[in-house]
Amino acid sequence: MVIKCTANCGKNAALKRPKTGDALCKECFFWAFETEIHETITSGNLFSPGNKVAIGASGGKDSTVLAYVLKVLNERYNYGIELILLSIDEGITGYRDDSLDTVKQNKIDYNMPLTILSYKELYGWTMDEIVAQIGRKNNCTFCGVFRRQALDRGAAQLKVDCIATGHNADDIAETVLMNVLRGDLARLRRCTAVITSGEGTIPRVKPLKYTYEKEIVMYAHFRKLVYFSTECVFAPNAYRGHARTLLKDLEKVRPSVIMDIIHSGETLQISKTAKMPQVGVCKSCNFVSSQEICKACFLLQGLNRGLPKLGIGKTSKSKKMLAEQEAKDKLLLNDSDKSCNNCTCNKSNKEINKSNISDQNSLKSLSILKDVDLF
Ligand code: SF4
Ligand code: ZN
């Protein structure tokens, strides 16, 4: 049976919109999809004329569609913004190296400059190396914390006015669910914001905030956009996976659940008496942090000191781990003038320990971390 496009254009419908249930032809779907994003941009005042905007580009469907649609809308509505692609190379063989090829193709197709920053150059570690140290359980904690800061660093280098990210409506609904389940009030309060900014930070904007993931896939398919769709080779974040499964199950019986959850997050009033973290600057790297030492520096110090679990899990556990390591370091230093009794090398412990300590960068780490109230 032929179904006519409900936008009254006279053409046959090509699809049923997951978000509204409307039967539309391809052109009317494109128009509706792009217009909704334009409305999110204008109602949220995401951009001003003359703004330099970095698009966080991973080569995946969301950021590819974001780059394409921002280009279209910038030309159609004369936003007067300059668009730049900013990619982070986490150093994941078989995943990011391939997806970055897609971003390089986007650069050519959309005629936008591209900057790629790697974890290796920023932190001295690739994700492959980190996973070799910590295993596959907490890899996404490292990756997520490092990526967030890497984007900020890239944006600061490029002197952009804001970073546009490809977070879609499903991502935001999942994040609301996760924050409710974790009781994380600080994140719950800000996770639905279309612009997130704070003192000393470059604002992040989410033009796809109300765009359903299924429609992004449809749009990319019908527009024949080139994107990378393989999952990361490391285990995906398990907790988000549960929230995603729950959301998909709910969506089957009530398609509006995604918008409903976002709306709930937006209108939620959090008690004024709830304790919220104070935002300041990391003593070590000067990037924004709610702790004296930011999570990225903390995780990095753990890696460099051979304590990769430092910064993961409870504060008390981290404090205990750090205290044990400090005690060991002190013992090594006090012992340093005595000679080595383990073999016949005749070297003093000082000589032997010197190389161990510099390998782990321990003293440097110790001076950064010693007077810090750990979280
Ligand atoms: Fe990084 Fe985890 Fe995402 Fe892989 S799944 S890119 S390790 S956050
Ligand atoms: Zn820091």
50 CA distance to ligand 2 middle (Å): 31
How many helices and strands (H and E) does the chain possess? 15, 10
Chain-centre distance for alpha carbon 159: 19
Q: What is the pLDDT along the chain (375 residues), one digit of tens a residue?
A: 789 999 989 999 999 999 999 999 999 999 999 999 999 999 999 999 999 999 999 999 999 999 999 999 999 999 999 999 999 999 999 888 889 999 999 999 999 999 999 999 999 999 999 999 888 888 888 999 999 999 999 999 999 999 999 999 999 999 999 999 988 888 888 899 999 987 678 999 999 999 999 999 999 999 999 999 888 888 666 778 889 999 999 999 998 999 999 999 999 887 777 777 777 888 888 888 878 888 888 888 888 888 877 777 655 566 566 677 667 766 665 655 544 444 444 544 444 343 333 333 333 333 333 333 332
Residues with CB under 6 A from ligand 1: 90, 127, 139-140, 143-144, 232, 234, 236-237
pLDDT of residue 329: 65
Paired tokens of 350: 């000082």
Q: How far is CA 202 from CA 54, 66, 138, in A?
A: 10, 19, 27
* Angle subtended by helix axes 257-267 and 238-253, to nearest 10: 120
350 CA distance to ligand 1 middle (Å): 41
Count of residues for the chain? 375
371 CA distance to ligand 1 middle (Å): 32
pLDDT of residue 253: 92
pLDDT of residue 331: 67
C-alpha–C-alpha distance, residues 43 and 167, integer Å:
17
127 CA distance to ligand 1 middle (Å): 9
pLDDT of residue 275: 74
Ligand nearest to the CA of 288: 2
Ligand nearest to the CA of 301: 2
299 CA distance to ligand 2 middle (Å): 10
Beta bridge partners of 117: 88
Which of ligand 1's atoms lies nearest the C-alpha of 143?
A: 1
Q: Which of 143, 165, 312 to mutate to test the pocket of ligand 1 (most atoms within 8 A of CB)?
A: 143
Q: Atom 5, ligand 1: which residue's CA is nearest? A: 236
* Domain ranges within the chain, ordered by starting residue: 42-267
232 CA distance to ligand 1 middle (Å): 6
- Tokens 């005629």 -> residue: 111
Q: Which of 98, 234, 299 to mutate to test the pocket of ligand 1 (most atoms within 8 A of CB)?
A: 234
Q: What is the pTM of this model?
A: 0.82
- Tokens 């990095």 -> residue: 300
Residue type, position 268, single letter: L
C-alpha–C-alpha distance, residues 178 and 185, integer Å:
11
Paired tokens of 121: 């150059």
A 10 A CB-CB count for 322 gives 22
Query: Do 284 and 149 form a contact (C-beta atoms < 8 A)?
Result: no
- Tokens 């290796």 -> residue: 120
Q: Atom 8, ligand 1: which residue's CA is nearest? A: 140
Ligand nearest to the CA of 299: 2
- The DSSP result for 169-225, as a single string, is HHHHHHHHHHHHHHT-HHHHHHTT-SEE--TTS--EE-TTTT--HHHHHHHHHHHT-
129 CA distance to ligand 1 middle (Å): 14
Q: Atom 1, ligand 1: which residue's CA is nearest? A: 143
Provide the CATH topology of domain 42-267.
Rossmann fold (3.40.50)
